[in-house]
Amino acid sequence: MQKSKNIFIIIIGLALIIALSLILIFRDNSILIDINEFQNLISSNSINKMSIDNNYIYINANDKKYKIAKEIINLSELKNIAIEVKTNNSFNNILADIGIIIVVLLGIAVLFNALFRSRKINNNFPIQQAKKESQTHNNLATSVGINNNNQVSIITFNDIAGIKEVKDDLLEIIDYLKNPYKYQTKGIYLPKGILLVGPPGVGKTMIARAIANEAKVPFFYQSGSSFSQIYVGVGAKRVIELFYQAKLKSPSIIFIDEIDAVGKARGGNRSDEREATLNQLLTEMDGFFDSSGVIVLGATNRIDVLDPALLRSGRFDRRIYIDLPDLEERSKIIELYLNGKNHSVDINEIAKYSVGFSGASIASLVNEASLNALRRNSKIITNDDFFISHNKISGGVKKQLSFSDKEKDVISLYQAAKALCACWCEIEFDKVSLIGDAIKNSDKNILSKTDLLNIIKVALSGNVVLEMYHNETYTNCKEDIAIAKEIAREMCETYAMAGRIIVDYSDILEILNDVKDELKLFFTSSKNALLEVQKILLEKEKISKEQLKDILNRELFT
């Protein structure tokens, strides 16, 4: 009886293999091309045969099969080419149905076989079998396979608060993934790679998942560290398989978290294996057709260490900076996480109290406050629950969380000076906030003496203003002072910008002192503008470049 069961299973298995083989033989293996590639085939006179059905035009050329969407081709322009009309063939569908039936029958047979065998095993066998299955799962978890990385995202933009500017930047990406033909017919192609840059906890991974969900496309996740292997060829192989799977399911999104783990600049102490992995990643991103519908998202908080080849046009050629949330954004995030909870919280007050918190930190804060309310058997979360929970969360956040009124006055004045000086010196930036600035490094290949002096001015501006208004200097200027001193040293010793070739310390000191004198004159003349910018930073915690220009034009030298 057992032998007959095994024969039955073998017969079903062979039938399944035959059915699947037929499906593979008769399936559509045509390569999807865009309008530009189609025009190239027409102009090269290499087309042997063309046919058309309800959706696609099929082309035989150069011993290969291609197809292109019928909607984007003007058939009247193909007068000199014979086109065969294809009838819909349901043979593949019939084979697929047969394959499904065989799979179901095979599953039932395997189930009965397993039940029959389970009656004959002793009590120790289940333990051994459990260990064996556990080991199998562990082996699968560490294997090279990429199939398990195809995830279905349930995150939407409604689940993420405080990133309005980022949402606006990504709407066209989502629309492109939903309607690629609308863009391709107009010759418009979006960036192949988008780099999300920001400190930990601001929601880079959630944003990537939300894009995939909003666009209704497959989402392939991989961390940068998973590509870093000590075994030769494993990292590069994982890159190849990841991109292969994404192309099969295009349009799709590949998200590489902490990409700096695999994308650090080549050379130095890096191993050949890590460089080979990065080279493969660069090759894969170059290998896409523009119409493939695969977009690569990367996330990092260390863009400065990435290899320049990753950031060039055609790879990660669009960068989206995600800062820590300001006052208004923190209020929205707190409101989002309190949704559905019974509370009497003054959201604006808690938002003011949590300066420097990221979105993840705020989520932890709300959770801790909820736990504290539960400990005291209260059904309502209050402000006191947040104040008590604050210290538990702030231990893992920057020291900026505990600003006193005096410290806020110092920092706001310091940041206002840097913002005003950057605007005056025409240095690129998007906005300046109370807890940081987005003043960008110059992307010029050649910098003039004036360019370098302007960078020194911005670096020293906060320190100069604090000396003028508080007769004190503070430790928050440490990094800016180091930048100013290093640039002044390079101007003298490397670029001979001090008026003489052979220099000493006095030349460096002269540059820094001249800049300080010029800054004192500027800030004395622009006192009203400086105080207005400081007031905005204290109230709103951020100020845009457009606002600064308006204030500077209105208040300067009055």
Indicate the residue type of 190: L
Which of 96-110, 122-136, 323-337 is predicted with the least confidence, judged by mean pLDDT?
122-136
Interval 158-170: pLDDT, tens: 778 777 777 777 8
Interval 270-312: pLDDT, tens: 556 678 888 888 888 876 555 467 888 999 888 888 888 888 8
229, pLDDT greater than 80: no
Burial of 548 (C-beta count, 10 Å sphere; 0-12/13-18/19+): buried
Residue 75 C-alpha from the chain's centroid: 41
pLDDT at position 448 is: 92
pLDDT at position 457 is: 95
69, pLDDT greater than 80: no
Residue-level length of the chain: 558
Residue 252 C-alpha from the chain's centroid: 14
Give the model's confidence band at 136: pLDDT under 50 very low, under 70 low, under 90 confident, else very high.
Answer: very low
Alpha carbons 415 and 427: distance in angstroms, whole number = 15
pLDDT at position 461 is: 95
Alpha carbons 97 and 440: distance in angstroms, whole number = 59
Among 500, 496, 494, 423, CA closest to 458: 423
Which of 173-182, 372-381, 484-493, 522-531 is predicted with the least confidence, judged by mean pLDDT?
173-182
pLDDT at position 123 is: 43
Interval 302-358: pLDDT, tens: 888 888 888 887 788 788 888 888 888 889 899 999 998 999 999 998 888 888 788
Indicate the residue type of 72: I
Tell me whether strands 429-433 and 294-300 are parallel, antiparallel or unpaired.
unpaired
Among 341, 376, 377, CA closest to 365: 341
CB-CB neighbours of 535 under 10 Å: 13
pLDDT at position 4 is: 57
Which of 68-82, 381-395, 536-550 is predicted with the least confidence, judged by mean pLDDT?
68-82
Task: Please give the span between the terminal C-alpha atoms of the chain, in angstroms, as a whole number.
Answer: 103
521, pLDDT greater than 90: yes
Residue whose pair of structure tokens reads 């119409």 in the numeric block: 291
**Contacts of 320 by beta carbon, 8 Å cutoff, 6+ apart:** 166, 169, 170, 194, 195, 196, 197
DSSP 123: T
Alpha helices in 27-90 (DSSP H): 35-43
Alpha carbons 540 and 548: distance in angstroms, whole number = 14
Residue 471 Rama label (left phi>0; alpha psi -120 to 50; beta) = left
Interval 5-42: pLDDT, tens: 566 666 766 766 776 666 655 566 677 777 777 777 77
The answer to whether the beta carbons of residues 220 and 246 sit under 8 Å apart is: yes
Indicate the residue type of 484: A
What average pLDDT score do residues 79-90 get? 63
What are the CA-CA distances from residue 436 to residues 199, 356, 429, 526 (Å)?
A: 11, 9, 12, 22
Residue 376 C-alpha from the chain's centroid: 41
Domains, the chain, with CATH or none: 2-91 (3.30.720.210), 149-321 (3.40.50.300), 341-401 (1.10.8.60), 405-555 (1.20.58.760)
- Count H helices and E strands in the chain, helices first: 21, 14
Interval 51-63: pLDDT, tens: 887 777 888 877 7
Among 355, 321, 516, 332, CA closest to 430: 321
Interval 248-274: pLDDT, tens: 887 888 888 888 888 887 765 555 667
Q: Based on C-alpha coordinates, what's the Rg of the chain?
A: 31
pLDDT at position 70 is: 72
Interval 389-437: pLDDT, tens: 876 776 544 444 456 778 888 999 999 999 999 999 988 887 788 877 6
Phi, psi angle pair for 183, to nearest 5°: -85, -40
pLDDT at position 91 is: 53
Residue whose pair of structure tokens reads 């058997």 in the numeric block: 377
pLDDT at position 143 is: 39
Among 483, 465, 484, CA closest to 474: 465
